[in-house]
Structure 1
Amino acid sequence: MKEGGVKGEILERYAQALLSLAQDNNILDQVGNDVNSILGVLKESPDLQEFLDNPLIKPADKKAVMNRILGDSVHPYTRNFIQVLVDRRRIMFLEGICKEFQALLRKLNQTVLAEVTSARELTDDQKNSLREKVLAMTGARQVELETHIDPELIGGVVIRIGSQVIDASLRGQLRRLSLRLNTVA
């Protein structure tokens, strides 16, 4: 999730601060869940991101909206952290900070993120099988699967782990076969 330049430094600095706060207070799991919830809310509502990005909206209004949306579902430290972001005019980086926090937490927990794209929804057995294969490949302690659906794949899966891509899709196999046939002809 690394971003370049000043933005990347901001994301990393604030994510690291939140991680340290959570570690120091033994609330790492709670804050991790809070961050996941916040990302879910931001993903579901592009209007909320626009609202937070708008410099013409007063900080007090941004705080009020975030408090209403999150309510008591997040830890008070997480709520305070968001208010600090508003006060320091960094709230527009909330999504990036949350993603950077997730990356830092994965590294701390020796967890890898495997992005899996398939033609249709995977069953629980298929997800567990993929987790086991990724664990064997990476040597990580845990695997976090992020699944996407792409009907153009026809069948199979494409797995992305960091910069490594494993294309086990039918489309990928057909493409490789086509390349081999073209080099023979």
Structure 2
Amino acid sequence: MKSNSVSQAVVAPYADALISLAQEQNHLDAIAKDVRLIGDTLADSVELTQLLASPLIGANVKKGVIESVFGSSVNVLTKSFLLLLVDRKRIAFLGEIVKEFKALLRVIDQVSLAEITTALKLSRAQEDSIRDRVKAMTKAKSVELDITINPDLIGGVIIKVGSQVVDASIRGQLRRLKSSLTAGV
């Protein structure tokens, strides 16, 4: 079994359980907000991610950190879930559980995720234009953008929605031009 499939076997049940419990208790919006906060906090703090993943740090220390970082800012259900992950020695998978939860939430809310790679920061108008095009392409109610800036593209944009990829980058155009020129030789 590959490590990715092992982590998926761990991650999916916990994300499913959290989303199911949130729906049953009519707290889905609050829990979703908490999960976004947790994801943002983990993304902003490499130290926190490393601490939670470390097998050398005891459960009580991890619970204390969770209490101090998220204690009053998250729903009681969310905090209980985090403490359960510590007890079950699954807290190292928290970042992946957050991603899986967000993916499940997008399915429930009929939201498409568009992964955007661009050479420069996009303006609000450009983001809205991409959202509108992806919405038309996927028939989703709304579109969430995950934007990555990669100066190697030179210019333009690459849009990935599910398995569909639209490469409108200058680098992609140059690559296609090169292959068409060398194909004729």
Report the TM-score, using the length of structure 2 for normalisation. Answer: 0.94
Cα separation, 2, equivalents of 1:55 and 1:156: 43
Cα separation, 2, equivalents of 1:162 and 1:67: 36
- Alignment of 1:166 with 2:166, yes or no, is yes
Cα separation, 2, equivalents of 1:72 and 1:4: 33
Report the TM-score, using the length of structure 1 for normalisation. Answer: 0.94
What is the deviation of 1:35? 0.9
List runs of 5+ in structure 1 lacking aligned partners.
none
1:48 corresponds to:
48
Secondary structure of residue in 1 paired with 2:71: helix
Secondary structure of residue in 1 paired with 2:57: coil
Which amino acid is the alignment partner of residue 160 of structure 2? R
2:107 corresponds to:
107
What is the deviation of 1:4? 4.0
Secondary structure of residue in 2 paired with 1:57: coil
Q: How many matched pairs?
A: 183
What is the deviation of 1:7? 2.1
Which amino acid is the alignment partner of residue 179 of structure 1? S
Cα separation, 2, equivalents of 1:183 and 1:54: 52
Q: Percent identity?
A: 48
List runs of 5+ in structure 2 lacking aligned partners.
none
Cα separation, 2, equivalents of 1:155 and 1:5: 36
Cα separation, 1, equivalents of 2:122 and 2:70: 31
Any residues of structure 2 matched to 1:12-161 within 5 Å, and which? 12-161=12-161
Secondary structure of residue in 1 paired with 2:160: strand
**CA separation of 1:134 and 1:25: change in aligned 2, threshold 3 A:** same
